[in-house]
Amino acid sequence: MKFIVLGGSNCQVALIKGLKNRGHEVVLCDYFTNPPGKKYADIKEEISTFDVDGIVEAIKKHNVDGILTAGTDQPVFTGALASEKSNLNFYIASNKAKELTNKKFMKNIFTNHNIPTVDYRYIKRNYSEKDIEGLEFPVVIKPFDSQGQRGVLKIDSMKELEELIDETFSFTEEDEILIEKFYENDEITVSGWVIENKTHILSVTDRVTYDIHPHIGICTSHNFPSKHYDEYGGEIIRLTKDLVKAFKITSGPIYFQMLIGKKGVLVNETAARIGGAFEDVYIKHLTGVDMHTLLINDTLKVKNLLEKENYVNEVSKKLNVVLFFATPGKIIVLDGITKLIKENRIIDGAYNFKVGDEIGKIKNATLRAGHFVVAGKDNAELEKNIQYAFDNMRILDENGKNLLIKSI
């Protein structure tokens, strides 16, 4: 069979490889000329993952059987729309994809179904103080339809709001943005799959983040299992099922972000996709569940089957997805990850840059230098393996300085 894959970043590489290993043909659509996934795909089309009409033309041109994507928000909506316009099956309807990717639709559903979330408002560029009456600073502003923490800013005063609001609007074509009360929290993510209206929990992780004011929520690692699972696991699972019911999700992947703080567990965001922290890689390693098979089956309307309702309780291993950064500079030497994979010291890993690239200042997740997935039988072994990985990776500049940030 032949599939279009939307996006060729490192988040989609495992999906592309998985399709090729199954004997399928892959048409990669990505507006970058040479993304990491290009070397694994059969055909590369320089089409944006937001370009519905362009994707429809690619469907006609290559006579594909379906569209797939993983690890990214907005292309789910693109894939749903392009599939409907081309009479192809997709795992989720476009109106449902819109609700689960656009923060305005999302927040309205939270409110209408009593899903606990932080206090919020919607504001335009020409907002007045009355528009945010009742919201105390600090607040967070976000575009409705962006991803990778682009335009997500923590604001400490009305003056800062005036100064920074244009940055958030630069990441959206909407005439409003979301403004919400800042909630001091630890963040967790829930990955799962819905099969015939039944929710299956595949993982619950701590999403560890890094803030450089005013930019916040830049993810540096996903840690399994969550340190909050023993205390809040029951509530996390209940909220996950409530969300599935509220959004009327009958099948397909789910990826929910929740916040744990003084007010307990609040829901931050929802998505109907495989997570962007290489969930398709690490969940298979931990549980044996192949998310690519589930995704292909749902896209083609083939019946899926999962044995357990909750896989978290069955796993004793410790695992981290390390999403590392580097200090600014020009890359002259880049090595270490391939050796670590061959030595079985890490499960997966890749750099996001290449020799000759210039690394800029960290502002959002797009400036990550790379990732690696590492496991251990206990926390001590996990920490030892993480340290070994960092000690054997190099991102050198022209002065021989290692730009790799080993911890944040």
Across the chain, how many H-helices and E-strands are there? 11, 20
Give 367 or 315, the one with higher predicted confidence: 315
pLDDT tens, position by position, 165-190: 999 999 998 999 999 999 999 999 99
In the chain, the domains with their CATH numbers are 2-90 (3.40.50.20), 119-181 (3.30.1490.20), 186-314 (3.30.470.20), 318-396 (3.30.470.20)
Residue 62 CB coordination number (10 Å): 16
pLDDT of 367? 81
Q: At residue 238, does pLDDT exceed 70?
A: yes
Residues 6+ apart with CB under 8 A from 73: 101, 147, 271, 273
Distance CA 210, CA 219 (A): 6
CA distances from 1 to 16, 37, 264, 296, 305 (A): 13, 19, 47, 11, 22
- Let me know: does 28 contact 93? Beta carbons within 8 Å: no
| pLDDT per position as a tens digit, 297-307 | 999 999 999 99
Q: Beta strand 198-212 with 186-195: parallel, antiparallel or unpaired?
A: antiparallel
pLDDT at 247 over 70: yes
Partners of residue 121 on adjacent β-strands: 179
CA distance 378 to 206: 16
- What mean pLDDT do residues 331-341 have? 97
Residue 238 DSSP symbol: H
Please report, as a single letter, which amino acid is at residue 19: L
**Is 55 a residue whose pLDDT tops 80?**
yes
In this structure, what is the dihedral angle of CA atoms 102, 107, 112, 117, given to the nearest 10 degrees? 150
